[in-house]
């Protein structure tokens, strides 16, 4: 089954404790993207990747890092999480750069206290 898998689904952590949210797709897609969703703000793009070792900043990259060492994986790294990074995070992948056939993960709800 074609899917994007995010882990964990839920996470509560403390300020400053490094964490990684994993994202994996099984469709050999070149394009992957991370979004955060906040009430009243919709989904905003954090980072974007066009292929292995090629990434670019989205609209809200501050406080986040990503890596794309393999095509299937696109982890989101918070080196020093802060409470303003409490949010719902979605990973997406697509065969094409216009995301007309996008697949989304189920989301990761992160709380930073």
Partner 1 sequence: AQSVTQLGSHVSVSEGALVLLRCNYSSSVPPYLFWYVQYPNQGLQLLLKYTSAATLVKGINGFEAEFKKSETSFHLTKPSAHMSDAAEYFCAVSYSGGGADGLTFGKGTHLIIQP
Which of residues 77 and 99 has its CB atom nearest to partner 1 in the complex?
99
Binding positions for partner 1, rule: CB under 8 A: 31, 33, 35, 40-45, 48, 50, 56, 58, 90, 92, 94, 97-100, 102, 104-107
SS3 79: coil
CB of 107 to partner 1, least distance (A): 5
Start-end of H helices in the chain: none
List CB contacts of 20: < 8 A, sequence separation 6 or more: 75, 76, 77, 78
Which of residues 75 and 105 has its CB atom nearest to partner 1 in the complex?
105
């Amino acid at each position: 089954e074609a899917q994007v898998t995010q882990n964990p689904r839920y996470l509560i952590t403390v300020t400053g404790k490094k964490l990684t949210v994993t994202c994996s797709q099984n469709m050999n897609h070149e394009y992957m993207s991370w979004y955060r969703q906040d009430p009243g703000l919709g989904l905003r793009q954090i980072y974007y990747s066009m292929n292995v070792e090629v990434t670019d900043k989205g609209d809200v990259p501050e406080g986040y890092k990503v890596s794309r060492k393999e095509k299937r994986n696109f982890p989101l790294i918070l080196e020093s999480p802060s409470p303003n990074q409490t949010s719902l995070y979605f990973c997406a992948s697509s065969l094409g750069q216009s995301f007309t056939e996008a697949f989304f993960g189920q989301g990761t709800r992160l709380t930073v206290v």
